[in-house]
Every structure is written in structure tokens, then in C-alpha cells.
Amino acid sequence: MIPVKFDYLAPTSVEEALAALGEHGDDAKILAGGQSLLPVLRMRLNAPEVVIDLNGISSLRGIRDDGDAIVIGAMTTHHDVRDHELVKEHALLLAKAAAEVADSQIRHRGTFGGALAHADPAGDLGAPALALGAQFVVQGPGGSRTVEADDFFVDLFETAIGDDEILTEVRIPKHTGWGAHYEKFVRVAHQWPIVAVAVTVKGSIDEARVGLTNMGSTPLRARATEAALAGASATEDGVRAAAEQAAEGTNPPSDLNGAADYRQHLARVLTGRAVLKAAGAA
Amino acid sequence: MTATQDRPAAEIGKDRRRKEDQRLITGRTRWTDNITLPGMLHLAMVRSPFAHANITSVDVEAAKSSPNVVTVLSGKDFGEELGACINAWPITPDQKTPAHSPMPADRVAFAGEIVAVVVARTSAEARDAAELVDVEYEELPAVVGIKNALKDEVLAHPDLGTNKSALWVFDSGEAGTGTDAEAAITEARANGIVIEREYRQQRLIPAFMEPRSVVVDPTGEQITMWSATQIPHILRFALAATTGVPESKIRVIAPDVGGGFGGKLQVTPEEWIAWAVARRLMKPVKYTETRSESLMAAHHGRDQVQTLTLAADKDGKVTGLKVHLDADLGSYVAIVGGGVPVLGAFMFNAIYKFPAYRFECQTVLTNTTFTDAYRGAGRPEATYAIERLMDELAAEVGVDPLEIRERNWITHEEFPFTTVAGLEYDTGNYEAATAKARASFGYDELRREQAERRERGDRVQLGIGVSTFTEMCGLAPSRVLGSLDYGAGGWESASVRLTPLGKVEVVTGASAHGQGHETAFSQIVADRLGVPFEDVEVLHGDTQVAPKGLDTYGSRSLVVGGEALVKAVDKVIDKAKVLAAHLLEANADDLDYADGKFTVRGTDQGKAIQELATATFAGHDYPEGMELTLDADATYDPVNFNYPHGTHLCAMEVDTETGAVKMRKYTCCDDIGTIINPLIVAGQVHGGLVQGIAQALWEEAVHDEAGTLVSGSFVDYLLPTSADTISFDVVHTDDPSICTTNTLGTKGVGEAGTIASTPAVVNAVVDAVRHLGVNDIQMPCTPERVWRAIHANDGDAATPADAMPHFHEGSLNQDEGAGA
Ligand SMILES: Cc1cc2nc3c(=O)[nH]c(=O)nc-3n(C[C@H](O)[C@H](O)[C@H](O)COP(=O)(O)OP(=O)(O)OC[C@H]3O[C@@H](n4cnc5c(N)ncnc54)[C@H](O)[C@@H]3O)c2cc1C
């Protein structure tokens, strides 16, 4: 289908992009990989007058080591996140989750920043970012600021990024040597998750981080389960007992793929499985 | 002619790669949307968002003044010239058939129905302007769902006074093809087994790859329509019949068409509108639908509630079957919409010797997208019902599902066999197909593993599903169609022409849209006429090139069209023989024909068919009385349907904690008579299987209460990709049951996989959890449905201890050894 007509801008620096955003305000939309934006435009669910393409800004692409964190540029593709050595070494959970996004074509186009900015509660990268305590660097007319993971996801498709701001990079505190598993539950391979659970654990088990995908209007942390797992041993019984609390405080949707109570059941079962796999016990 | 003994059938049976694939796959070909004509205008449709509403006004002014808009037309701007969408198969004389205008002026009956058309210089401008058309509606109550429709409280078409369109009945007692089903059921209630079930055939969307597209060029003496259709000939007929333009003034072309699966077996409102607009403006126009429009407004398939009663004696020998279908037609009775469930009427008895059978089909109208043929059309629904029931009967009797089938099936010595539905099955060998499938599948080993997993209370249970299907295909003997009040015949036509330099042009009335006719038909001609495969060109899909034909659907092209082709080739050879005898100065009786050459028996003298073609072109030397052509036409009207069959075995793993299902193994042994091209057959079987499996596990078109299609994109309408399927084990019987009603001995295979696989999969899923108290799971078997089925009986004291689900709310996975 054909989108409504729009003007297309291709800035080559963040400053230039911000200036364009400032000029056009609400009438403008940022284009990253286009894997969420283009379907929306083509189905005419949104009709911006100006599209600002970030693909020409090379500084937004790439992954670097920054002491106690790794830093992922917003325009880095899912494919590159999945395959990058720094990610595998210090944030294995992200590599595993990126591998589960859609299919190969989409992973080569879709970007890390675009996915997080889009904030689809069924998106695969929010829960891992939350579990890893990611810090989101957003740049606006007044400069850059950092938003903590807990404050970044506001609601369905809504983040702390202001209308005049761009997400430039995401800092992921190093979780070197942590085990990780992303358990995604789908009916067909190319689907968004019905429920997914992102787990990373230190040792077996000293500490655990558990993120939930599609269990509410934003990615969630299963904190009760995390607490129950800290210092627990990675036995089937112990882990399953801790996982029993995974759905506490969740408010998942009901749709063709499952009612809310079923999703809560899945969250419990999948959490148990993901923790055991992350801890190398399954 | 003499049989071609000294030349082995070189082409038939060969794994020829499809000659059409390069152009189809690379797209370097003529898809309808690729066609661009000088001065062509583009259409965009304005569709109703409401399922049922009066149209109170249509304001087109803003749209008309949008850039490069030529005109905007709504229903009231058209008269008779707009024509009508036809129903070609009224299943009863008193069928209620709502008038179906391509663009109603007063009232819409489904969400997606067209209320106005925008004509602009580009498709983008047409689309922009379509958003400016201001339609006011007065919403009416919509009826959605078969059971609601049957209540007749809310009417899909108030003027009809009812939602019930037609009731079609077959009763073997009355027809004299068997005994009384009711009596058999009464007897079984007293002394045998009665299985009563209600199965739901969910609504499906054909989801062909190429969206529907139509181009109409009214300039010139004939009006030409290119359409992504399966049925160019029927389309021309219907255009002439409903728009008043003589057939001789209409040329319809189905260029390369990207899939149909029955979904392009339709005469569509979009085609009629494009036709009317082009004629009115005297300019070429094009309309190509978006995927969203396709999902919403191209016809849907299936959608039945099946109420079934199977009677058997205590040993599981079936004594009678009663079927009541309620079938959702959607908003209109589409071209063969009412007939699709009736096609199933003859198939519920399947491969079995049932003595008594009653079938009723009630069609109902609702305010949803109209339904019609979808791969298998009526036969998958029937096969599903009976194959599910046979598994239930096996469970009831306590024997293996293969055993229960053997107790009831027609044995190979009993062919030809006249069924309780009145069909004569010519050949088949269910024992052979089952034995081969069973061995290839490793049936006994998988049964052992299943028992072990049950014993262990494994988190992942294994189930094995059986489907021993047959079907009637090769549509169809024209007289039979006449007796069913179908609006056309079932014959097919072919022509064979020899060019001056000895190449062969084959014209067929079958209209391929991805099946590989060009390759298979070339193989047939290559063998029969003795010419190189490469020298055969197959022409089709254009009423000017192939003026006669009934197109492609119902697994008919090879078995009906292929036979017409054989007859045409034989006529060519007969004609050529006269010329050969003349040129060789021999008696025609002394000529042999082999490898494309006539030889005089006992000499080394001969004439190749190519030489004869050139000699005919030259016309310098030919016998008195010979018409100077070797070309020939033939029409073939089949004397019977044909009856491919097969045994399909499926193993499914079911995760009892989540309800997730996973295919472990799928084996099918199909007996389809002679195989012309094994590679094409494999393609048809693999694709067909996936389509049937998708009904079992993934696909479902859902309308909400208001009649809005909820599964309106591929995010919600789940189509599988190769990542979701496994490698199938596709085998065939060693000694196939050759079809006796066509020369080649072929049986249809286009729908086989789809018909057979759905019940095999669901039987396997149910089998995996039957010990947990489950005897049915509604399609598609989503993880949630499977999980709920497993847990429906939680806390039910009647569940035997050994069948207890091994976990309950609050005490997950007690089972230590199950692993994670
Ligand atoms: C068929 C299909 C299947 C998919 N399946 C999955 C799946 O299984 N799991 C999954 O997680 N995702 C899935 N996706 C979505 C995919 O991951 C997208 O790539 C992602 O959601 C958006 O990333 P993008 O780079 O394409 O962003 P775009 O589509 O370009 O942009 C998305 C939104 O974010 C905004 N935006 C983008 N970048 C920035 C920025 N730097 N600063 C501020 N705002 C920004 C845009 O304005 C837009 O509103 C699927 C997509 C498709 C088409």
C-alpha cells in the first residue's frame, strides 16, 4: 500500500537531525530501520509530513567498550547486536534476544534504538534492556541526558524520549560472565512473542535478573522471582518455586493468541525454564 | 496409432524442473500489475468500515478536486451496465440468493464492501483521494457467526426474511444407494456405539501470494480484461451474461498468475467495477488490491459447524453416518459458494463401506466476507469430520486407529466400488498405501515411544494421528454437474498445432496459476508425439489464444485437460499418417509411429513428424482429399471423477505445561495413479500439506461481533513459513492404482495434501493428550486451546489416576525427571 505523501530529510549529523525535528515538531517522524514505521505509514495509521532518516548518521552506528559498560549506538542493527563480540561477552542476554527478533531480513534492517524507541510491549529487546539495567542516552536541543531503564518505558509505544529528542545510544552495564537465556513463546517463527522471558544470572545462582515481554503495557521485571532466586541453587524445584511468583503484578493483554490468565501461566512456566537454561542447569 | 514400445516413456515420470519457474520466480514476466498501457488510469476503492449499514449519502466533491483525480463514482452513478456478481450454482430451486451488486447504492452487507471508486492518474493519487470520499452510513445490526445466523433474529439481508439460504439433503435410504441412517443410529444406541460430535471448520483466508489485480482496456474492437484470475473463460462468460456486452467483444487474459488456491475462482466486484469504469471513460484502467483489502474482501473459505452422528456395532464396524452441516456463506452467495459444502456431501463416507448415510447442509448468510472455494473445497471439511470420527471410534472400541479403518475400508479386491453416496470408485488400494506409510513412518516404534512417555508422565507427550483420505477430483463429468444444477460443464479442451519448422504449440483451456502445466503438458506431448520436450510450447489463459476451456481448480487440469491433450495429439498423428503414407508411397497399415517418426515396417524408410509439418506448410505434395493441416482440437468430458487416496501419518509432540505443539514426523503415502512429473507432485504435496497443517494449527479468520475482521493482517492471520514446518516424508505406493477413466492413468494431486493433512495433525494432537481426558480440541489447535483442553478436567474426580495431568495450579511440575 502507498503511504500518504511526505517530505524526506536525510541529515548526516545528530545536530542536523535535531534541528529538523525542532523545525517540524509533531509533523515529523524519525526513520531508523523502518521495520515498524513503514508498515504504520503504508497502512496509513500515521501520516507525518516529514520523515527524518537517521541512516546517514554514521556516529549512531556501532558498539564500543566504555569501561564498566558497553555502548550500543541507536542505529546498530539487530543483526550486528546479535553477532558482536562485546555483546556476547558482556551482555549475552542481548545477543540472545536479538537473535530472536523476527527474521533475518528484518534483523538486517531493524535497529536496536528503533526497537527500543518504538516501545512495543511485544518487542523482544525491551525486557532484556530492562533486566540489564540499560541507560538510555537521549539528545535534545539542550544536549544529552541519560534515562535509567526503570524510567524509560512509560506506556504502550511511549517512552521518556521527548518530542524534540533522539535516542542516540544505550549503555549496558557489563554483566561479564553472566549466563543468559531468552525464552520466546510463539506460534509461528516470525511472530512477535505471545510472552517472552529474559533472564541473566550470575553464577548458579548468586544474582538473577528477570525481564518479561508482553506481560503489560511496558516491559517488566519479575522482582519477586529475582529476590527468591538470589543465593538459591539452580535446582529444578527451587527455580520452579521462585518462578511461581513471576506473574505477580503483571497485567498482560488478552487477544487471539491467548487470554491474560494463560499468559500469566506461561510467564511462570517460561521463567522457570529460562532461569534453568541461563544457569546452565537444563 | 501403434504403441511406442521401442521408445521408453522418456518424459513421463521424469523429474523435470519446471520450465516456467525462471520467469515466475524472477518476476521477469507479465503479472497483471506489471501491465502498463498508454493513458492508463488507476482505481482505488472506498470500502465500508461497517458490516451492515444503509448508505445515506456519498459526498465525492472533496475527492474529485484532489490532484489528478479524473472522477469518483458511487453505486448510484451506475445502472445496468455495472452487471452483477453471479451465483453459478444454486444448490436448491428455492435457494435464497441476495442480489449482489459489485457496488451497492443503498446498503452494504459486509465490512470491506465497495461503496465508491476513485479514478486518478496515479494509484497514489487515487488512494489519497479515496480518503476524502465522505460516506454517511446508518448502521444496521450485523449478524456474525453461524449459530447467531440460524436464530434469524438479526438478518444479514432484511428483505429476505431469513438468513437461511438453502437446505440440501442427500439420504442413502431415499436415493437407493444405501439404507436408512436414522434406523442405524437407533439400533446402535441400543446395541452398539454412537459417537456424536460437533466440529468447527474455522474460516480461512486463501492468502495467495499475488494480490488480485485487474486491467481493462476498452480501446479497440474487443474490450480486453487482464485479471489475476484462475478462471478467464468463466469470467468472460459471466461478463457477457451480466453486462450485456457480447462474448465476441470480450477478450479475457489471465497472464501469469501468482497462486489462487480457489481464492481466484471468483468473479469479483473489483473486476466488474474496473470493467464499468473503463467502458464509461473509454480509457484503460488498473486496479490492484492491497494485502489488507485482499484479506478483508477477497473470498474466504471453509467456515462450517458440523454436527455428526456415527453409528457402529460393538466391534467398530460402522453401520451409519448422519451429517448436518451449517455453512457460512458470508454476505452473498458467491459464484460456487453454496456448492462448496455440497461437494463434501459425497466424501463423508470416504474410503469406507458404510451401509447408511444421511447428509444435510444448511447454508446461512451473515454480514461477513463471502465464502467460496478454498483448496479442497468441501472435501477437506468432509475428510476432517470422518477421519476425526474414525479416531474417536477407535478410542471407543479400544483398538488402534489403523485397525478401525481396516475393519471398515473397501478392500482392493472390491473395486470398482459404488459408495453409499452413489459414486463409483474405479481403483484404489488402501491396504498398500497404509502398509507403506506405516513402514516408512516407523509406526510401531513411535507407538512404543508414546507409551513410554505416558508411563513416565513426561512433560512432553507424543501423539500419532491417522488420516486415510480419498477425494473426488478432476471436476467434473458435465452431466453430473447438470444433475446438481451447477451452471456449467466440466469438460476441457486442447489443441495441438505444428509450426512450419516442426515445433509444437499446445493450447489448453486449463489456466495454470503456479501448478506447472507448461512442464507437465510438455512432457505428455513429448512422449506421445515423440518430439523433444523443449520443442513444446504450452499456451493458455487467454480467451483469444485458448478460446474454449473451463480453467483450473478441483485438481482437474491434468486429469481432464491432460486427457483432452492426449486426444488432440492422437488426432494429429492420425492425420500425419495419411500424409506420411502418401509421401512414403506406402500403405498406411504398414506404417509404425515411434519416436516422432513414421517408418515403413521392414524398411529403413521413414518420415519424421517435423518433416511432415514442413511438408504440410509447403503443401506441394499431399494426397487427394486430405485437408491441408495436421493440427487438431479435442474436447474431453470426463466419464467419472477420479479418486486419489493416501494414508497420512503424523506424530506431534505436545508440551503439556504450555500447550505448545510441535511436529515430529509426517509421512504420507499417496496413490495418485500414474505420475507425470514426480518433482511437481512433490511440490503439490508439500505445499498442500502445509496448507492443511496450517488449518490444524495456525490459520483462522476472526470477525468480531460487529463484523470487523480482527485477523486483518499477517500479524494476526498466522501463515506458516518454511521455518515452521519440518521435512515431510513423501512416498507413493509401489504399484499405483491406475485411473481407469483416462488414458494416462492419472489422478489429481493438487488438493490431496490439504485434504488429508488437517485431520492427521489434529488426531495426533488429541491422541497425545487423550489419556488426560481430552477428546477434542478446536482448530486451530493453539497452545492456549491445547492447554485449556488438558486442564478442563482438572480436579475432576472421574479422571483416572494414571491419566492425571502431572501438574496443577500452584504445584508446577512435580515430576522430577521431566527436565526443563
Ligand atoms: C514482519 C515483522 C516482524 C517483526 N517481528 C518482531 C519480533 O518478533 N520482535 C521484535 O522485537 N520486533 C519485531 N519487529 C519489529 C522490528 O524489530 C523493528 O525493527 C523495530 O521494532 C523497530 O526498529 P526500526 O529500526 O525498524 O525502527 P523504525 O521502524 O524506523 O522506527 C520505529 C519508531 O521508533 C522511532 N525511532 C526510531 N529510532 C529512533 C531514535 N533513534 N530516536 C527516537 N525515535 C526513534 C521512529 O520514529 C518510529 O516511531 C518485526 C517487524 C516486522 C516488519
Helices B430-441, B443-456: crossing angle, 10 deg rounding = 60
- Which A positions 89-118 lie with beta carbon below 8 A of chain B? 103
Q: Percent of chain B, pLDDT > 90?
A: 95
| Residues in chain B closer than 8 A to A281 (CB atoms) | 820
Q: From the CA atom positions of chain A, what is the Rg in Å?
A: 19
* B252, three cell numbers: 479475457
Residue B27 Cα, gap to closest chain A Cα (Å) = 19
How confident is residue B793, by pLDDT bands cut at 50, 70 and 90?
Answer: confident
pLDDT tens by residue, B422-459: 999 999 999 999 999 999 999 999 999 999 999 999 99
pLDDT tens by residue, A51-63: 999 999 999 999 9
C-alpha span between B468 and B402 (Å, rounded): 9
Indicate if the pLDDT at residue B297 is higher than 80.
yes
DSSP annotation of B703 reads B
- Residue range A51-80: average pLDDT? 98
| Residue B71, in any domain of the structure | no
Residue A276 Cα, gap to closest chain B Cα (Å) = 7
Specify the pLDDT at position B794.
78
Specify the pLDDT at position B445.
98
How confident is residue B805, by pLDDT bands cut at 50, 70 and 90?
Answer: very low
Q: Percent of chain B, pLDDT > 70?
A: 96
Question: Over chain B, what is the mean pLDDT?
Answer: 94
How confident is residue B1, by pLDDT bands cut at 50, 70 and 90?
Answer: very low
| Residue B424, in any domain of the structure | no
Q: What is the dihedral of CA B34, B35, B39, B44, to 10 degrees?
A: -60
C-alpha span between A182 and A172 (Å, rounded): 17
Measured in Å, residue B258 CA sits from the centre of ligand 1 at 30
Indicate whether residue A93 lines ligand 1 (CB < 6 A): no
- Residue range B204-233: average pLDDT? 97
Indicate whether residue A117 lines ligand 1 (CB < 6 A): yes
For residue B195, cis peptide bond before it (omega within 30 degrees of 0): no
| Residue B432, in any domain of the structure | no
Searching chain A, which residue's CA lies closest to the CA of residue B712?
A43
pLDDT tens by residue, B354-377: 999 999 999 999 999 999 999 999
Measured in Å, residue A184 CA sits from the centre of ligand 1 at 18
Interface residue A262 vs chain B (CB under 8 A)? yes
For the beta carbon of residue B567, count every other beta carbon within 10 angstroms: 18
Measured in Å, residue A31 CA sits from the centre of ligand 1 at 9
Residue B621 sits in a domain whose CATH number is: 3.30.365.10
Partner-chain contact B702 A4, CB within 8 Å: no
Interface probe, candidates B45, B205, B658, B699, chain A, greatest A C-beta count within 10 A:
B658
Q: What is the dihedral of CA B673, B676, B678, B679, to 10 degrees?
A: -140
Indicate if the pLDDT at residue B4 is higher than 70.
no
Measured in Å, residue A132 CA sits from the centre of ligand 1 at 20
Indicate whether residue A192 lines ligand 1 (CB < 6 A): yes
Q: Starting from the edge strand earliest in sequence, which strands make up the sheet with B134-139, in order?
A: B107-108, B53-59, B134-139
Indicate whether residue A106 lines ligand 1 (CB < 6 A): yes
pLDDT tens by residue, B602-642: 999 999 999 999 999 999 999 999 999 999 999 999 999 99
| Residues in chain B closer than 8 A to A237 (CB atoms) | 816
User: Which residues lie below 8 Å from residue A277, measured CB to CB, with a gap of 6+?
Assistant: A181, A183, A199, B820
Q: Are B750 and B555 in contact, with CB atoms under 8 Å apart?
A: yes
C-alpha span between B694 and B757 (Å, rounded): 9
Determine the residue of A50, A77, A101 to mutate for testing ligand 1's pocket, defined as the one with the most ligand atoms within 8 A of the Cβ atom.
A101
Residue nearest to atom 12 of ligand 1 (CA): A123
pLDDT tens by residue, B547-594: 999 999 999 999 999 999 999 999 999 999 999 999 999 999 999 999
| Residue B605, in any domain of the structure | yes
Specify the pLDDT at position B795.
59
| Residue B798, in any domain of the structure | no
Residue B292 Cα, gap to closest chain A Cα (Å) = 8
- Residue range A253-268: average pLDDT? 96
Predicted model pTM: 0.95
Work out how many domains chain B is built from and give that number. 1
**Buried-state track A232-258, b at ≥16 Cβ within 10 A, e below 16:** bebebebbbbbbbbbbeebebbeebbb
| Residue B657, in any domain of the structure | no
Domains of chain A: 7-54 (3.30.43.10), 63-172 (3.30.465.10), 180-278 (3.30.390.50)
* Domain region containing B590: 21-28+491-636
Residue A148 Cα, gap to closest chain B Cα (Å) = 31
Residue nearest to atom 52 of ligand 1 (CA): A35
| Residue B596, in any domain of the structure | yes
Specify the pLDDT at position B194.
98
For residue B276, cis peptide bond before it (omega within 30 degrees of 0): no
- Residue range B383-392: average pLDDT? 98
Indicate if the pLDDT at residue A175 is higher than 70.
yes
pLDDT tens by residue, A270-281: 999 999 999 998
pLDDT tens by residue, B253-274: 999 999 999 999 999 999 999 9
C-alpha span between B567 and B565 (Å, rounded): 5
| Residue B499, in any domain of the structure | yes
Specify the pLDDT at position B9.
61
Specify the pLDDT at position B7.
44
Interface residue A276 vs chain B (CB under 8 A)? yes
Closest CA to B264 of B301, B290, B237, B292: B301
How far, CA to CA in Å, does B160 sit from each of B148, B154, B155, B169, B370? 16, 12, 8, 22, 17
Measured in Å, residue A36 CA sits from the centre of ligand 1 at 4
Closest CA to A126 of A86, A97, A167: A97
pLDDT tens by residue, A117-136: 999 999 999 999 999 999 99
Phi-psi region of B563 (alpha: psi -120 to 50; beta: other; left: phi over 0): alpha
